[in-house]
């Protein structure tokens, strides 16, 4: 991006980002929910369609993955209150957080152990339904458990699913596709962890490795897939289907709040903090939450200081036309799932008037938050998932965030607020790698 220097006088934030400082940005384009939905290409009906599809597939999921039996084939994660961690954030980091703090444990989702189990698995199921209907394997009203028959598996084995990934999306798509019978190729960037590649290969997935970043893995994967008429490429940057899979989280968490008799409305605001890479998962989740909670919810994305691609794209208004490398950042981070240089243009467009803001976090803090959560709550997350704890810590310390609270008339409501840290991955991390993470010390 040759002319980004012209933006610096208007956006001093860029200078701070270039210095790898932790920053916060309030989205000045955020409007009411009703306004944000005007002209939007997706709506609540699309999310409901995705919900119904997942219900139809539930018997097949339960058949292949017995761990989903308690939820009758639905892939969903616990919502847990973390009072000890809240005390730790207040005492150790001076968070001074009011209200209640919860952890949404997508880190423990069945099958893939990460938030990507929502979008990735849903897109594979959506494609499977399409193929099965087109080729006469699935009649109207028939149970989707039939798609596990050997005849269907042989048919699906003639098709290939491909995806570019820094790790967790590849795991979710690789595992479900291989189980259903597909050939699978996952294109992984240099940032991807070795254990994730090995886990995929243990499921019979072909893993292609690239020296470059996530963008190169996606580009090469798309080219190879496009050359094969029997190949389907799942595009984390632009897939509406993937996005809608993530969006089903909205109704699910609404039920979890209802079951706990927790009220979410404009007098009891909800703050959600989500780690962000290319933007698909946090964008889709936020979209789904907005359909349910409307103006009562405030969504914030958290990114590493070296790879704040969504924040950069949104703050400059350039969206996917600017990358972190354009302003001199490396895009390299210990948060492997967030190591993305250029944001999704599709997600940026949808989120333009919807999400509240973005912030960045230093890599060393990922490990600090990780150890704190393990010590206080006996919950392990991978480092990238711990980025979200920056949100509650920043809330009362950052002047821009405090200004956001004032301008939105939230000051008197913060004692009633509910805060959700969205844990995006961790339960599949091997024990030896966990130990390595726990003992990793980085310099500030």
Do residues 113 and 425 make contact, with C-beta atoms less than 8 angstroms apart? yes
CATH at 69:
3.40.50.1100
| Residues of the chain below pLDDT 70 | 1-5, 8
- pLDDT at residue number 3: 61
> Under a CB-based contact definition with an 8 Å cutoff, are residues 248 and 118 in contact?
yes
Is residue 53 domain-resident? no
How many structural domains compose the chain?
2
pLDDT at 211: 87
Residues 195 and 89 reside in one and the same domain = no
Query: Looking at the domain assignment, is residue 52 inside a domain?
Result: no
Helix (H, G, I), strand (E, B) or coil at 162: strand
Burial readout 245-265 (b: 16 or more C-beta within 10 A, e: otherwise): bbbbbbbbbbebbeeeeeebe
One domain, residues 123 and 162 = yes
Residue (of 234, 136, 224) closest to 176 by Cα position: 234
**Domain range holding 256?**
4-44+61-112+243-438
Residues 368 and 433 in one domain: yes
Residue 406 burial (CB count, 10 A): 10
Provide the pLDDT for residue 88. 98
pLDDT in tens, 257-309: 999 999 999 999 999 999 999 999 999 999 999 999 999 999 999 999 999 99
* 163 located within any domain: yes
Query: Under the phi-then-psi rule, with left for phi > 0, alpha for psi from -120 to 50, and beta for the rest, what region is 136?
Result: left
Q: How far apart are CA 313 and CA 367, in angstroms?
A: 27
**The two three-digit tokens of residue 122, written as one number:** 């849903």
Contact criterion met (CB below 8 Å) for 292 and 48: no
Q: What share of the chain is helix, strand, coil (3-state, %, to 5)?
A: 55, 15, 35
Distance from C-alpha of 244 to C-alpha of 52, rounded to nearest angstrom: 12
């Amino acid at each position: 991006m040759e002319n980004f220097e012209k933006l610096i006088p208007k956006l001093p934030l860029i200078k701070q980002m270039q210095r790898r400082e932790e920053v916060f940005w309030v989205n000045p384009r955020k409007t009411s929910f009703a306004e944000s939905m005007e002209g939007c290409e997706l709506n609540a009906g699309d999310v409901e369609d995705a919900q119904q599809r997942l219900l139809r597939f539930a018997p097949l999921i339960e058949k292949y993955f017995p761990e989903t039996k308690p939820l009758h084939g639905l892939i969903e994660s616990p919502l847990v209150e973390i009072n000890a961690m809240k005390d730790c954030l207040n005492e150790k980091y001076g968070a001074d957080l009011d209200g209640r703090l919860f952890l949404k444990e997508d880190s423990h989702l069945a099958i893939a152990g990460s938030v990507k189990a929502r979008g990735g698995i849903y897109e594979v199921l959506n494609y499977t339904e399409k193929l099965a209907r087109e080729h006469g394997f699935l009649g109207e009203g028939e149970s989707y458990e039939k798609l596990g028959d050997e005849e269907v598996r042989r048919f699906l084995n003639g098709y290939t699913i491909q995806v570019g990934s820094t790790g967790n999306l590849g795991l979710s798509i690789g595992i479900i596709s291989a189980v259903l019978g597909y050939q699978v190729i996952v294109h992984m960037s240099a940032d991807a962890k070795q254990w994730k590649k090995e886990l995929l290969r243990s499921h019979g997935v072909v893993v292609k490795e690239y020296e470059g970043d996530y963008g190169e893995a996606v580009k090469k994967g798309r080219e190879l897939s496009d050359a094969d008429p029997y190949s389907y490429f799942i595009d984390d940057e632009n897939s509406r289907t993937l996005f809608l899979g993530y969006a089903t989280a909205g109704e699910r968490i609404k039920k979890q709040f209802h079951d706990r008799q927790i009220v979410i409305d404009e007098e009891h605001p909800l703050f959600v903090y989500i780690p962000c890479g290319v933007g698909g998962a946090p964008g889709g989740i936020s979209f789904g939450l907005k359909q349910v909670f409307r103006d009562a919810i405030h969504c914030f994305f958290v990114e590493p200081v070296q790879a704040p691609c969504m924040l950069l794209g949104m703050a400059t208004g350039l969206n996917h036309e600017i990358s972190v490398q354009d302003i001199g950042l490396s895009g390299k981070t210990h948060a492997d799932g967030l190591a993305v240089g250029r944001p999704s243009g599709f997600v940026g467009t949808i989120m333009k008037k919807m999400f509240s803001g973005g912030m960045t976090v230093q890599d060393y803090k990922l490990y600090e938050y990780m150890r704190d959560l393990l010590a206080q709550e006996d919950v392990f997350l991978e480092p990238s998932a711990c980025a979200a704890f920056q949100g509650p810590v920043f809330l009362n310390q950052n002047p821009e965030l405090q200004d956001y609270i004032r301008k939105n008339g939230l000051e008197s409501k913060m004692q009633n607020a509910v805060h959700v840290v969205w844990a995006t991955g961790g339960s599949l991390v091997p024990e030896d790698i966990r130990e390595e993470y726990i003992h990793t010390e980085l310099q500030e």
